[in-house]
Structure 1
Amino acid sequence: MLLRNLTTPTQLRSFERSFCTSMKVFQNHQNFNILPSRLVKGPKTSSNPAKNLRRSTIPKIENSTSRCGNYSQSGDAFKIDECTTITTSEAYDLEKVKCLLIGSGYHPASLVPDEIISFKYLYNGCMSDVMILGNCGTVVSWGLGESFVTENILSLIQDARVNALADNEIESEDLDFIEIESKEDLEKVKRLTTKSGDESFIDGDMIFVNSIDPNLGLLDKAALSSGMSRSTRLAILEDLLKTHIEKSKKFTELLSKGKKLNLTESEVLKSTGSLFLIRGKLNLYSELIETPDLYWSEPRLERIYKQMSKNLDIQPRISILNTKLDFAAEESRAFMAVLNEKKSTHLEWIIIYLITIEVCFELHHYYERYWIDRPDKIEQTEA
C-alpha cells in the first residue's frame, strides 16, 4: 500500500568536488506521496516498552572509524554508521522547513504528509538521510554525528521551530546502525544475529536497516526515527520533572522538621500548573503514550516502531514518570494545605483580635455608664 504512491528518486547530479568536505546536494524533483496525512485507526494493541541504547559494539561486528552510508565487508564484519536524534522544540513548521531547505539549495521530500520531511545530505562522499519530524520537533540523521548535525543541519531550519527549547533543554540520542543493501549481506547478517525475517530490526545495541529496496528502507528509517524521537521527548519531560523535584525538596525537608515554609500561594499554584503541563505533554498533547495513527494500517512499520520503543524502555519510563508526577502533585497539595491552614489560622487570630477590641469598647461604655455617669444621676435624684 505504501509503495503504490512512492516514486523512485531521480539520480543525483554528479559534482566534481573533494569528498572531504560537506556539500549541498541538488536533486531533480522528488515526490514521496507515501501516506495520507491521517489513517483510520485499527484495533488498538498494547505498546511495547524500551531501553536506553547508547553506542557500543556487538558480538562479531567490528566498529569502524569510517562512518559511511555504504559498508565494506571483511569476512562477516560490517562498517557501522551513526544515527543521531535531536529534539530542539515542541514542533517544526514543515512548510517553513521546506522553504528554508529549498532556499539553501536542497530538495526536501514529503515522506509522510504533515508528519515527516526528508532530504539527502552529502558528507565525506556518503549520502545521509536527514528526517525532520514536524509534530515531534525532532531531527534524525542517518550517518551524521551529533556535533555535525548541531553545527550544520539544525542551523538550516532553526527559524522553523515552534516553541523552541533553551539550549540546556535540548535532548539527543545517538545509536549505531548497519545498512543492508544486498541479499548476500542480508544472509550474512542473519547468520550473525540468528534473525530469520527480512524486516529491519534491532539486535542488542545495533540497528539493522534493510535497504535492499531503498524505498522500503527509507520507510523503515522513518518508523525507527519516530521511535527514537519518543526517547528524546520523554527525556525532556523527565528533566523538567527532575528540576521541579530538586526545587521542592528543600520545602519538603522543612515540612518534615516542622519549620515554617517560605512559600507563597502564587508560587505553589505556579508549581502545580507546571506539573499539570508536564502531565499534559506526556498524556494529552502528544502521541507519546500510544502508537501514532499513521502506523496502524502498516503492521511492518508498526512492529519496527514498537521494537525501537521497547529497546528504549519507553513504556516503563512513561509509567515511572506518571508515578513521579502523582507524588509531585500530592506534594504540591500538601504545601497548599499548609498554606491554607496558615491562612485560616491568620484569619482566626484576626477575628479574635476584632472580638477583643469590641469587648474593650463595650467595657469602656460600661465604665462610662455605671462609674462616670452614675454619681451625677445619684446627685440629681437626691436633689
Structure 2
Amino acid sequence: MSVPFQNFWIRMCMQNSAYKLGFKFLQPYSSVPHISISLNYRINKNLFKCMQHRSFIFTANPFTKRPVRKKVPPSTNQPGIFNVTAISTASEYDLEELMVHIVQEGLYEEKELPPDLENAKYLTALYTIDAEPRDIVVFRQGAVVFWNIPVEEQSNFLASLRIFEQDPYEVKVVEHEAETMDYMHSKSTESNSKGKIVNNKVVLSKSTDITMEKYTHSNGLMDSVKLGIWEATLAEYIESIEDVTENLREGGQLKLSRKQVLQKTGELFNLSHLINLSSDLLDTPDFYWDRDDLERLYKQSQSYFNISNRTRVMNNKLSHCMDLVDLLRDHLNTKHEVRLEWMIIILILVEVLFEIVHVVERRQASSSVD
C-alpha cells in the first residue's frame, strides 16, 4: 500500500473516532483488500496515542465519588409520629421458605394482599406495644420495610432473614443506603382524605384500606434503597477503573488483561440489566394501572425520592463506562490479533529456514556423489 493512501486512511480513522466521541477503536479491517491486520494495528496504535493526549475525553468529566444524598433525620419521641425504615440486604429473598419460618416462629401473621402482588408479603406483629400496629413488608427483590418497628426488633428480624438471602450485600453498604422517614395519620376530619408525602413525612389517610397505602409507600421506599445499592455498586466500579483512565491520560501501558476487561464488561451488563429490565424504575408497575389513588401515591413517592433522575444519571454513567470498556476491549483484541499474525510469520520463516537447510544438504550430497 502506498504511503499517501496510508496517511489518508489514518486521517479517515481519526475522523471516524471523533464521530464516535473517541470511545471506540476501529474493528480490524482485514476484510478490506490490501489492508493487513498489522497495518490496522499501526493505525489503531497511532489513534490510541492521539486519544491519550486528547485529555478532554477522559478528564473533562472525571470519575468522581458519588455524592452523599441528603437524608432528613426522623423525628423522635413526638406523639402521633412514628418511623418507617426501608433496608435492602440482598439481591433476592426466598419468600416461600421465609413464610414457613415466620409461621413456625409465631411472632407475625400474614395479611392478605391482592393476588397480583406475588412478590411481596405483608406481616403484622401478633403482640402489641401500643395502639399503633407494627407492620413489616417484605419484597422478593431483597428489601424489607418496617412500620413502627423498634430498632432491636428490626435487628432480630434481619438476622432471621439471612438464611433466606441470595447474594447478600456488604453490611456497610446496607446500613448506608437504608432509608428512614416519619409517618403519621391524617388529622383531617374528612373521611375521604387522601394519603400523601408532605414536609418529609408520610401522611396516611383515614381510609379503611390503610394496608394498601402502606404497601404503596413501601414500594417507593424499596425502589429508593435498591437504587441506592446499585448506585453504590456503580460508584465502586468507577473507582476500580479510575487507574485505567489515569494511565490512558498519561500514556502508560494498560494493566488489564483481556479476561479482566471481559469481566468488567459483564459487571456493567449485569448492573444495566438489574436497573432497566429486572426492576420497575423506568415505568409504573402494572398493579397500579387500575388503582388510581394508589398510583398517585406511588408516583408521589417516586418523585420524592427522585427515582427518575437518579435512574437517568445511572444510565448515563453506565453508558460512559461501557464506551471506555469497549475501547479497551477493541484495543486488546487488536493487539492479540497482531500477536497471532507475528506468530504465523515466525512459523513461516522457520519453515523457510528448514527448507533452505534441506536444499543446501541436497546440493552438498549431490556434489559429493559427483
**Taking structure 1 as the reference length, what is the TM-score of the superposition?**
0.69
Match of 1:361 in 2: 354
SS in structure 1 of the partner of residue 181 of structure 2: strand
User: Aligned-pair RMSD on alpha carbons?
Assistant: 2.8
Match of 1:4 in 2: none
Question: Which of 176, 179, 186 is the aligned partner of 1:173?
Answer: 179
SS in structure 1 of the partner of residue 300 of structure 2: helix
Match of 1:40 in 2: none
Q: Are residues 176 and 360 of structure 1, via their aligned partners in 2, closer, same or farther at CA, if it must alter by over 3 Å? A: same
Match of 1:132 in 2: 137
The alpha carbon displacement at 1:152 in A equals 2.4
Does the CA-based 8 Å contact 1:89-1:162 persist in structure 2?
yes
Does the CA-based 8 Å contact 1:118-1:129 persist in structure 2?
no
Q: Give the AA of the match of 2:71.
A: R
Q: Which has the larger radius of gyration?
A: 1
Q: How many residues align?
A: 297
Match of 2:152 in 1: 148
Moved more, 121-130 or 236-245: 121-130
Does the CA-based 8 Å contact 1:131-1:222 persist in structure 2?
no
Q: Tell me the distance in 2 between the aligned counterparts of 1:128 and 1:339.
A: 60
The alpha carbon displacement at 1:267 in A equals 1.6
Alignment of 1:139-218 (within 5 A): 139-144=144-149, 147-148=151-152, 150-170=154-174, 171-180=177-186, 182-184=187-189, 198-210=193-205, 212-213=206-207, 215-218=208-211
Match of 1:24 in 2: none
Q: Tell me the distance in 2 between the aligned counterparts of 1:97 and 1:350.
A: 58
SS in structure 2 of the partner of residue 111 of structure 1: coil
Does the CA-based 8 Å contact 2:111-2:124 persist in structure 1?
no
Match of 1:347 in 2: 340
Q: Give the AA of the match of 2:147.
A: W
Q: Give the AA of the match of 1:233.
A: K
Match of 1:66 in 2: 77
Kindly provide the CA deviation profile for residues 198-236 of structure 1, in whole angstroms up to 9, marking residues without a partner as x.
2111123222112x23x3322211111101100111111
SS in structure 1 of the partner of residue 85 of structure 2: strand
Match of 1:335 in 2: 328
Gaps of 5+ in 1: 1-50, 58-62, 72-78, 188-196
Does the CA-based 8 Å contact 2:220-2:298 persist in structure 1?
yes
Does the CA-based 8 Å contact 2:73-2:180 persist in structure 1?
no
Q: Are residues 219 and 97 of structure 1, via their aligned partners in 2, closer, same or farther at CA, if it must alter by over 3 Å? A: same
Q: Are residues 93 and 366 of structure 1, via their aligned partners in 2, closer, same or farther at CA, if it must alter by over 3 Å? A: closer
Does the CA-based 8 Å contact 1:120-1:127 persist in structure 2?
no
Does the CA-based 8 Å contact 2:87-2:178 persist in structure 1?
yes
Does the CA-based 8 Å contact 2:137-2:218 persist in structure 1?
no
Alignment of 1:1-383 (within 5 A): 54-56=71-73, 63=75, 65-66=76-77, 71=79, 79-105=80-106, 106-113=108-115, 114-121=118-125, 124-144=129-149, 147-148=151-152, 150-170=154-174, 171-180=177-186, 182-184=187-189, 198-210=193-205, 212-213=206-207, 215-368=208-361, 372=364, 376=368, 380=370
Q: Tell me the distance in 2 between the aligned counterparts of 1:254 and 1:224.
A: 46
The alpha carbon displacement at 1:88 in A equals 1.7
Match of 2:39 in 1: none
Q: Are residues 368 and 97 of structure 1, via their aligned partners in 2, closer, same or farther at CA, if it must alter by over 3 Å? A: closer
Does the CA-based 8 Å contact 1:88-1:164 persist in structure 2?
yes
Q: Tell me the distance in 2 between the aligned counterparts of 1:168 and 1:311.
A: 24
Does the CA-based 8 Å contact 1:275-1:329 persist in structure 2?
yes
Q: Are residues 148 and 290 of structure 1, via their aligned partners in 2, closer, same or farther at CA, if it must alter by over 3 Å? A: farther
Residue identity (%):
28
Does the CA-based 8 Å contact 1:227-1:305 persist in structure 2?
yes
SS in structure 1 of the partner of residue 122 of structure 2: strand
Q: Are residues 96 and 282 of structure 1, via their aligned partners in 2, closer, same or farther at CA, if it must alter by over 3 Å? A: same
Q: Tell me the distance in 2 between the aligned counterparts of 1:308 and 1:53.
A: 16
The alpha carbon displacement at 1:107 in A equals 1.7
Gaps of 5+ in 2: 1-67
Q: Tell me the distance in 1 between the aligned counterparts of 2:367 and 2:120.
A: 99
Does the CA-based 8 Å contact 1:101-1:156 persist in structure 2?
no
SS in structure 1 of the partner of residue 339 of structure 2: helix
The alpha carbon displacement at 1:92 in A equals 2.9
Q: Give the AA of the match of 1:261.
A: L
Q: Tell me the distance in 1 between the aligned counterparts of 2:131 and 2:165.
A: 28
